[in-house]
């Protein structure tokens, strides 16, 4: 899914994705769409191809999806149409759906195991 979204960022949905870039974001919306499209292709490809690094790629994918969430909030608050989200109700439903998308990126890739390893304290070795 992320691969297809990234390709559409660079091609058929480029203008639609620009609607999601908040007006307060300090960069050109088209540049943001292009960069995020490339990142989506790279991250999605890493999840598919780099099996050994899948948990890390899943963690990066989850972080990326959370990072673009403010754009979705701005789309809702600004009443900006895009991707068929042409009502406040539709835009709100998307916001409610987003955490499930994060879980979809985080859980099946075993990114949660990587997080546990990072936060779990190292075992204490006994002095001999």
Query: What is the rounded CA–CA span in Å between residue 123 and residue 128?
Result: 15
pLDDT of res. 127: 67
pLDDT, position 82? 82
The long-range contacts involving 11-19, CB below 8 angstroms and separated by at least 24 positions, are 13/83, 16/82, 16/83, 17/82, 19/75, 19/80, 19/81, 19/82
**Which class for 16: exposed (0-12), middle (13-18), buried (19 or more C-beta within 10 A)?**
middle
Q: What's residue 115's pLDDT?
A: 86
pTM (two decimals): 0.81
Task: Walk along the chain (128 residues) and give the pLDDT tens digit of each residue.
Answer: 888 999 999 999 998 888 788 888 999 999 999 999 999 999 999 988 988 888 999 999 999 999 989 989 999 999 998 888 899 999 999 999 999 999 999 988 888 888 888 888 777 777 66
So what's the pLDDT on residue 45? 92
């Amino acid at each position: 899914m992320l691969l297809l979204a990234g390709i559409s960022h660079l091609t058929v949905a480029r203008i639609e994705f620009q609607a999601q870039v908040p007006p307060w974001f300090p960069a050109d919306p088209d540049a943001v769409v292009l960069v995020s499209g490339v990142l989506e292709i790279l991250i999605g490809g890493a999840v598919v191809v780099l099996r050994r690094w899948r948990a890390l790629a899943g963690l990066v994918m989850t972080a990326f999806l959370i990072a673009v969430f403010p754009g979705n909030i701005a789309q809702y608050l600004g009443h900006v149409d895009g991707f068929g989200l042409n009502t406040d109700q539709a835009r709100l439903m998307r916001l409610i759906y987003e955490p499930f998308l994060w879980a979809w990126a985080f859980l099946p890739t075993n990114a949660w195991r990587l997080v546990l390893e990072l936060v779990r304290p190292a075992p204490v070795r006994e002095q001999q």
